[in-house]
Amino acid sequence: MIVQLLVDDFLRRAAELYPEKIAVVDGDRRYTYRQLQERVNQLAHSLLKLGVKKGDRVCILSPNSHFFLESFYGTSQIGAILVPLNYRLVAADHQYIINHAGVKVVLVDYEFTGVVDDIRAELPTVEHWVVAQHDGPVPDGWVGWEDLIAEAPTTKAAAAAEIEMSENDVVSINYTSGTTARPKGVMLTHRNCYINAYNFIAHLRVTHEDVEMWTLPMFHCNGWGGVYAITAMGGTHAVIRAIDAEKIYELIEQEGVTFACMAPTVLSKILDYPDKDKHQITTKPRFVVAGAPPPAAFIQRLEEELGWEFIQIYGLTETAPLLTVCAPDFATKKTDYARRSHAGVAGVGIDIVVLDDEDQPVPRDGKSVGEICARTNVVFEGYWEQPEETAKAIRGGYFHTGDLAVWDEVGDINIVDRKKDVIISGGENISSPEVEDALYKHPAVLECAVIGVPSEKWGETPKALVVLREGEAATEKDILEFCREHLAHFRCPTSVDFVDELPRTATGKLQKFRLREKYWGDAKRRVN
């Protein structure tokens, strides 16, 4: 008998083997795996009662919460498709995604009901409006989550057993973070997520003893696998609703956090928190950074100052997403922090190549640049309702990531830029991360981004956008002279703008297209 790879298996296993173990810590609330399974079952029954059928889309708009965790398993149990929304988007973006996905039921955190109410009249496919809250009056036009599930059975929905499920069914539609264009709906299947969870467990060494701190937004968690991997192994989900350095340290201290995935910006807050010493930390957490590689100095500080462990991973929403892992191994020494900021080597069962414009592998010399392409079980089913975009992304049997990289003789991948972020100045290709890495060495620089801006003489030249550290000062001349000391002159910025913040996605990726819009306007952008 062939057993389908269905993500519901992860919670089933945990509830059977660890029924009284704490599954979720969310503020003052704690749920065991038995209780979590019961709440998931109640949600599944309730969605069926609302008329949700296999293949119907249910979206959730919420910060990290136990409600969010429940939505993953409550929808998949009945064959519905979850659409996690980025709560940092504006109402017009939510309207686009909800309508594009054809959402039937919206699950919304109490803080965001007003945002959805403002666009309610523009959401013709939505039939039911559920608010995730425990206390206080339910807003008009909404049904409370707790009221919805209160009378539902705590056993698995009998109707769910009658639904024919396949590992190739779509389990979620995750809209891309929009670093270069309008979001597209990435269809991830049960099989995609299941295999990704296995790789997550193997390469990030997840066990039943782990306590994961949720700093990465859960709307991206299908991508980074924690919902499935931590649950599968019977670990504990320690939820943090908003990023605050003090609360992060308190959670690590109080709950014995051993594991966390995060964006580089969150790692920066943790490293720069001034009151580290007042917390009695008894664990040595593994911090996994995804979304963008941090400066090598961040890795060194985490391991040498705090004694914690750093692991870099790389992937995309379209690859569920784990493609590569970078940790000390046969080719990378623990203290080689520059190399440890690379994307790393391919995970188990993942075929990665770096291809030139003719789709031929570039030499493994650590210098020749090509596009990262992947062939693996975690590559997505396609873009929702956008077959033309799917065909552009998957060709020749490989998913084309749009990320440019070099690789070496052992297959170590080092990302040098996005295709659209390469700066072509006077015929020379300039990697913006290389320039940014130099800028991060300046003591006054907190954050930076380098983009190409129009130049009559060179076509385009590098410009640095810099966020200064609090209490620090620097002039454009200071920054430019510093760069000339650390870079070949043709790679150096020709101008510097000081800004209060940089536009980022919720997972920490710089949205350079927003920066370029300011300087290019309607001018045609030169790209590779």
Distances (CA, A) of 273 to 82, 276, 304, 306, 427: 36, 6, 16, 12, 43
Question: How many angstroms separate the CA atoms of 316 and 505, rounded?
Answer: 13
Residue 508 · residue 265 · CB < 8 Å = yes
What is the average pLDDT across 171-190?
81
pLDDT attached to residue 179? 45
Domains and CATH numbers, the chain: 1-189 (3.40.50.12780), 243-420 (3.40.50.12780), 422-520 (3.30.300.30)
Q: Position 295: which residue type?
A: P
In this prediction, residue 513 carries a pLDDT of: 74
pLDDT at 296: 87
Q: What percent of the chain shows pLDDT beyond 90?
A: 73
Residue with more model confidence, 106 or 242: 106
Tell whether the model's pLDDT for residue 495 goes beyond 70: yes
Name the average pLDDT for the chain: 91
Please return the burial class of 140, using the count of CB atoms within 10 Å of its CB with bins 0-12, 13-18 and 19+.
Answer: exposed
pLDDT at 399: 97
What is the length of the chain? 528
User: Residue 527: pLDDT band by 50, 70, 90 thresholds?
Assistant: very low
Q: Report cis status (omega within 30 of 0) of the bond before 493.
A: no
- On the question of pLDDT at 311 being above 80, the answer is yes
What pLDDT is stored for residue 413 in this prediction? 96
Q: Is the pLDDT of residue 429 over 70?
A: no
Q: At residue 180, does pLDDT exceed 70?
A: no
Sequence-ordered strand ranges (E) for 327-443: 345-346, 350-355, 370-376, 382-383, 394-395, 398-407, 413-418, 423-425, 428-430
Residue with the two structure tokens 């991206």: 220
Please report the pLDDT score of residue 528 as a whole number. Answer: 33
pLDDT at 416: 81
Across-strand partners of 326? 312
